[in-house]
Amino acid sequence: MHYHLVGIAGTGFSALANLLLDQGHTVSGSDRVANRQTAALIERGATIYLGHSPAYVRGADALVATAAVTADHCELEAARAAGMPVLSRADLWREWSAQRRVIAIAGTHGKTTTSAMVAVALRAAGVPAGYLIGAEVPELGGNALWGDPATPLVIEADEYAQVFLALSPDVAVITNVEWDHPDCYPDASVYHETFAQFAAAVAKPQRVILCGDDQGAMSLGLHEAALYGIEERLATDPVSCRLAPFDWTASGVQTNKGGGVTFDLWRYDRRRMAQRRLGTQNLRLSGLHNVRNALAALAVVAMLEGDLAAASAALANFGGALRRFEQKGEACGVLVIDDYAHHPTAVQATLSTARAAYPGRRLIAYLQPHTFSRTTALSNVWTTACAAADIVLVGDVYAAREEGDATAASQELVARMAATGLDVHPVGSLEQALDHLGTLVQAGDLVVTMGAGDSSLLGVRLLERLRYQEVD
């Protein structure tokens, strides 16, 4: 079958394309830009068109479009005129969920890293799972693999436009639940109810795995779910410190010599009502959020009866997914880290991790707000989110699928943040932000770029400019 994907350069749709190629289908696609993902697809035999035209859909059997594509898009109109099925990501997910067992990783934050950890841990543990992840994972060699359909498929289950409701998971992980995507979910109650519907799709409620540290996840009322979280009192009081203990617990969390984290791993036996220390878990990744992500991955491995020791060793060596606290390089004494964070809670976690990992450096945060709806709906919490930074630079809003004045919206957000006393500045476009950073940074600084659009380009270009200065 020949699938044509509109928006194929995006991380999510390039992953879909890879799975379709794995299954032996013919794939073509179009997008406004070409990138590393499209180059890799061309090497695999896909046909990639730069730009959009009705002619590009000729010969296809079905068209798959991203949520950002409007109904009057020329390729969608051509497909409908030809009587061609017009599909969404949810349609493919629904089909794949019917074909094989799915392990769905959901949550407002942490889906990508947790999905990557689950896939890496399972494959090391003797369960050769396939995977569909929203970022490239070096340890996996990419972001998608169909693999053997007799084994599970790990899917990063995005809640945008309720697409994760297309899945019928065998196992589901919910990392946290905090209102997001106000363009789809008008308020927090609708958002939470949709996550409850997602969890209800799991046939056996005991095969839902929840973060017990997250109030939103716990408010779903899934009393039979397996729980994971951090409890520092467990090391000194393993018997009575908690009336309702987590099934998987980290205790004694500390920074290790490599800059990651180390913790004691505990497992609760519900039948015997007893805690058992399984050993020490090391991670290359830093931050308490990654401790929780690792606990979720180990819980999945145990649920699928994989080799826990092998999974633990794989997680100890796991270096993370791209654009997740990714160190881009250092030049002229300036270290640059890039992260996908674009929700205030994720930004706060990223900056807190940066502050803890590099306490002696001046921390300059660059934020590219993502979508006008999110920027407006969550405008009152950005100051708290960015509090760990010494200086905050706010770029133009990345509109994505929305329309508005990107510069005016950014300036309005900066004015609100500055009124609280935060050292925050509007820096406009990426080019303007680069010029601003070029005059601001000095040896010893840490620059953290954050956003879900093209914010990662800023760090790359800053390093290029600084390296030129080193040579000069």
User: Binding site membership for ATP: which residues?
Assistant: 107-113
248-255/261-269 β-pairing: antiparallel
What ranges make up the beta strands (E) of 169-301?
171-174, 208-211, 226-230, 248-255, 261-269, 274-283
Pairing label, strands 261-269, 274-283: antiparallel
SS3 204: coil
Is residue 407 within 8 A of residue 396, CB to CB? The reply is: yes
The DSSP-derived string for 279-300 is: EEEEESS-SHHHHHHHHHHHHH
Q: What gap in Å lies between CA 333 and CA 442, rounded to an integer?
A: 7
Length of the chain as a residue count:
472
Tokens of 117: 């950890």
Strand partners, 262: 254, 282
Measured distance CA(341)–CA(348) in Å, rounded: 9
User: Distance between CA atoms of 154 and 19, rounded to whole angstroms?
Assistant: 12
Cβ-based neighbour number of residue 412 at 10 Å: 16
CB 175 within 8 A of CB 105: yes
User: CA–CA separation, 131 vs 249, rounded Å?
Assistant: 26
Q: Which two tokens stand for residue 336?
A: 């640059």
Binding-site residue numbers are 107-113
Q: How many angstroms separate the most distant Cα atoms in the chain? A: 69
Using DSSP, state whether 106 is helix, strand or coil. Answer: strand
Q: Report in angstroms the alpha-carbon separations of 382 from 356, 368, 407, 429, 446.
A: 20, 12, 17, 20, 20
